[in-house]
Amino acid sequence: MSLQTHQLTKSFGGVRAVDAATVTFQPGKVNALIGPNGSGKTTFFNCVTGMVKPDSGTTRYRGRDITRTPAHRIARAGIGRSFQLCRIFPRLTALENLLVAVRAPNLLGQLVPARQRTDLARARSLLERVGIEHLADAQARDLSYGQQKLLELAGVLMADPETIMLDEPAGGVNPALLERIGALVRELNAEGRTFIVVEHNMDLVMSLSDHVVVFDRGRPIATGTPDEVRADPAVLEAYLGV
């Protein structure tokens, strides 16, 4: 089932950051959400994932209304996300960051040796998958920004989400690590995970995406394949300034 919003709206003071946005993302695909700065993309992400409560409208996932569901329950329902600015624990090691990401909800669960061994093995496996296994014992604050982005993605994967929402994964990342992030998205998508990616790097968007949604002033103004969106006059005017 896809993730859908209907008339989703969020205002801050007199400014409508998200304005009656009705969007359907394609399951099993790499969806991109693009638009000018201030067009409401991150606020839209925050509404969908329960970080902020919308003023009106609905969000449905797998056919279920999750509009008023707390963020931690949305995560357990199968939606993982990263943030525009990395949310990591700088004084913990890379390995410890991943273990914290799947901390058991009660003390008893945290003390079960089998769970501890399983989580540790999964954490090491994911550090290897994103290419930073050699940094397992390094404090997160000592990693480069691109490596921190990879660490954050590994933390998202610890919960094994079906849908992954990435907020500007290319921001501040050098070309080599950017290529690694792109390859990971392709690999994970090939395994059946749905992606929704907010990104300003148009080369990355056009090379990765199957389906693109363009926001302007808090609402979608165009949807389609990368080629369709690239040629849309409304997009050229709002996003590219043509």
Tell me the pLDDT tens digit for each residue of 49-80: 999 999 999 999 999 999 999 999 999 999 99
Tell me the pLDDT tens digit for each residue of 202-232: 888 889 999 999 999 899 999 999 999 888 8
Tell me the pLDDT tens digit for each residue of 185-209: 999 999 999 999 998 888 888 899 9
Query: pLDDT value at position 111?
Result: 43
pLDDT of 130 strictly over 60: yes
pLDDT of 28 strictly over 60: yes
Q: Which residues pair with 15 in a beta bridge?
A: 12
- 242/240 Cα distance (integer angstroms): 6
Question: Residue 241 — pLDDT band, cuts 50, 70, 90?
Answer: low
Kindly report which listed range (2-6, 106-110, 233-237) carries the lowest average pLDDT score. 106-110
Query: pLDDT value at position 2?
Result: 82
**End-to-end C-alpha distance for the chain, whole angstroms:** 36
User: What are the residue ranges of helices labelled H in the chain?
Assistant: 41-48, 71-76, 94-101, 107-111, 113-130, 145-158, 175-190, 202-208, 226-230, 233-238
Q: What is the CATH number of domain 1-78+162-242?
A: 3.40.50.300
- 199/210 Cα distance (integer angstroms): 14
Q: Which of 166, 169, 191 is nearest to 178 (CA)?
A: 169
Map out the domains of the chain as residue ranges: 1-78+162-242, 87-160
**Amino acid letter, 39:** S
The interaxial angle of helices 175-190 and 145-158, nearest 10 deg, is 20
Query: pLDDT value at position 1?
Result: 55
Question: Residue 239 — pLDDT band, cuts 50, 70, 90?
Answer: low
